[in-house]
Amino acid sequence: MPKRETQARNSKRKFKSQQRLNSGGEGLLSTMQAYGLRQTAQRRALAHAIERIAQPFVAEDLYADLQASPRPLDLVTIYRSLHQLEALGLLQKSDFGQGPARYCLPVQSEGHHHHLLCRSCQKISHLEICGLEKQQKQLAQLGFTQISHKLEFLGLCPKCSA
């Protein structure tokens, strides 16, 4: 297992009980620091851009936003950073099998949320509900730990259905 992934898993366990995101403009940046990530100029720019741009976003959205900064990041660095933030649970990745993966900040109270993608216009709606808590508890009774899930729906939005 690569060293970075091992460090990310250890950090995730260490701060599991900690609230993932603080409210306010420094939320993601301070949480990244709590997970042991150094506050470099690039990470500060990345964190501010993630909080500023529309959610969910693709890596190219972040790249375009950061090109105006004094020290723009290259696309490889952005993908590497997104992967690291996802491994720590600070970003939620969604891959609908249509186009590039999309990222968004997790819901503060639940730590995750689900999506509904319109097959026609590609509009993504957030679903703040989750009915899988009972099933996760049953899996925990079987001895499983660190259980998580992803649930994504596909359909036609009201505008495209008309």
* C-alpha to C-alpha distance for 148 and 151, rounded to whole angstroms: 10
What's at 31, amino acid-wise? T
What is the number of H-type helices and E-type strands within the chain?
Answer: 7, 5
Q: Domain residue spans in the chain?
A: 1-108, 113-162
Of 3-17, 67-81, 100-114, 135-149, the least confident: 3-17
Q: Determine whether domain 113-162 maps to CATH 3.10.20.600.
A: no
Please report where in the chains the tokens 């260490």 appear, as a residue: 14
Tokens of 113: 């949320």
The residue behind tokens 């109270």 is: 109
What are the backbone angles phi and psi of residue 132, rounded to the nearest 5°? -105, 10
Contacts of 112 by beta carbon, 8 Å cutoff, 6+ apart: 92, 106, 130, 148, 150
Residue 154 has pLDDT above 70, yes or no: yes
What would the CATH number be for the domain defined by 1-108? 1.10.10.10
pLDDT of residue 111 exceeding 60: no
User: Residue 20: which pLDDT band, with cuts at 50, 70 and 90?
Assistant: very low
The pTM of the full predicted model, rounded to 2 decimals, is 0.62
